[in-house]
Amino acid sequence: MADRQPLNATFFAFRKRERGGVLLRTTLAFAALSLAAIALFAWLNWRGVVDYINWAMALGQVAETADPKDPSAVFGAMMPPASVLSVFAGYFLFLIVFYLLWAAFEAACLKWMIRGETGGFFGLALNADTLRVYFTYWLWYFLFLALYLVIVLVGVGVVFGVVLGAQDNPEAAASTAVLLALLFALALCVALIYFAVRFAPAAATSIAARRFAFFDAWTVTKGRFWALLGSFLLLFLMYFVGVMILSGLATFAMVGGLMGQVQSSPQPQSVEEVFALFAAPSVWIPMAICYGLMIAGAFVFYVALFGVNARAAAAALEEGKIRAE
């Protein structure tokens, strides 16, 4: 095994390579396909989306004007239209397609950064690498589901123990419950951070090993925890600051533009009138610029995260911690 080398993973995705612009082209291709998928979903479910907004506005008006002694009016308005219910089924199918597309995007980025390979539509392809990343998402999902069940069982056990203890000394039981809740929350946060970092390069490990190797990520991150945690924290901090700045600018622009529109027009009474307010150039242009920059920043952020994981897997491959098939 080779000597452990410095990780230097924070900006690994943006290092200069022999071919330039590969990650940019892949990102643009993914963005174009994502927009096409979102547009198709909106076109197929537009009536349901409009009905949902109208139903939500009507429900709010009923709640404000209903007689508190007669809640039947509110209960009757709570049932959404049939078209709204169909949107939820369509949205579930959309998520399956979108996450498969996202898996292709991550696989393309990892494949280029780790193996220097491209292929498919600007790197995007429905191949073994994409499926490995996609099944990694599913394993993450089931692990979080199992963790949720454990938290619920432990919480129920703590509550049950406190209830039994409260029979003899309610004040001491209450203090014990608060202390246990704080300790449990702290331990949970520490455990989540630790295991999330240790298994963060799971998808990158599968790409490097050319097989599904989720749990080999534990070997990849051995001795690298603090370096990886520092890279992730720095990227999250930079992204958070950027989002806060752009969100503030977008909110300021929206409020300023809407105030001008409201002063010059009557209060909107329908979804179409609300859309008309937002369609004013003084409202949507500055908002579109800010949110466009936020979307671009999100792509940069995610590619940077892919780069951190790719660097960890590539280093493990070079050091002999894992082997490619």
Task: Give 162: exposed, middle or buried? Use CB within 10 Å, 0-12, 13-18, 19+.
Answer: middle
Task: Give 36: exposed, middle or buried? Use CB within 10 Å, 0-12, 13-18, 19+.
Answer: exposed
Confidence band of 1 (pLDDT split at 50, 70, 90): very low
Asked if the model's pLDDT at residue 268 lies above 60, the reply is no
The residue-averaged pLDDT of 292-307 equals 94
Asked if the model's pLDDT at residue 95 lies above 50, the reply is yes
pLDDT at 295: 92
Are residues 281 and 225 part of one domain?
yes
The residue-averaged pLDDT of 81-110 equals 86
pLDDT at 19: 83
Q: DSSP character for 215?
A: G
Are residues 305 and 285 part of one domain?
yes
pLDDT digits (tens, 9 = 90+) for 134-179: 999 999 999 999 988 888 887 777 767 666 666 666 666 667 767 7
The residue-averaged pLDDT of 130-134 equals 96
Q: Out of 106, 126, 146, pick the residue that ends a domain.
A: 126
pLDDT at 78: 62
Q: What percent of the chain has pLDDT over 90?
A: 43
Are residues 323 and 227 part of one domain?
yes
Higher pLDDT, 208 or 164: 208
Are residues 103 and 26 part of one domain?
yes
Report d(CA 102, CA 123) in Å as an integer.
Answer: 12
**Does the residue 55 lie in any domain?**
yes
**Does the residue 173 lie in any domain?**
yes
pLDDT digits (tens, 9 = 90+) for 2-38: 456 678 899 999 998 888 889 999 999 999 999 999 8
The residue-averaged pLDDT of 175-192 equals 80
Are residues 133 and 121 part of one domain?
no
The residue-averaged pLDDT of 191-214 equals 95
Q: Out of 92, 126, 160, pick the residue that ends a domain.
A: 126
**Does the residue 229 lie in any domain?**
yes
The residue-averaged pLDDT of 244-256 equals 85
The residue-averaged pLDDT of 112-130 equals 92
How many structural domains is the chain composed of?
Answer: 3
**Does the residue 208 lie in any domain?**
no
Which three-class secondary structure state does DSSP give residue 121?
strand
| H-assigned helices in 121-215 | 128-165, 170-198, 202-209
pLDDT at 2: 47
- Top-confidence range, 15-24, 236-245, 265-274: 236-245
Are residues 230 and 322 part of one domain?
yes
Are residues 91 and 145 part of one domain?
no
- Top-confidence range, 25-34, 51-60, 61-70, 185-194: 25-34
Are residues 121 and 136 part of one domain?
no
Q: Out of 108, 126, 144, pick the residue that ends a domain.
A: 126
- Top-confidence range, 54-68, 102-116, 280-294: 102-116
**Does the residue 14 lie in any domain?**
no
**Does the residue 189 lie in any domain?**
yes
Confidence band of 250 (pLDDT split at 50, 70, 90): confident
CB 166 within 8 A of CB 176: no
Are residues 224 and 189 part of one domain?
no
Q: What's the pTM? A: 0.82
Are residues 324 and 255 part of one domain?
yes
pLDDT at 210: 94
The residue-averaged pLDDT of 244-248 equals 91
**Does the residue 245 lie in any domain?**
yes
Are residues 69 and 55 part of one domain?
yes
Distances (CA, A) of 63 to 48, 69, 74, 258, 274: 22, 12, 6, 25, 20
pLDDT at 129: 95
**Does the residue 99 lie in any domain?**
yes
Are residues 275 and 227 part of one domain?
yes
pLDDT digits (tens, 9 = 90+) for 98-118: 999 999 999 999 999 999 898
**Domain coverage including residue 40:** 21-126
Report d(CA 313, CA 322) in Å as an integer.
Answer: 8
Copy the structure tokens of residue 152. 């619920």
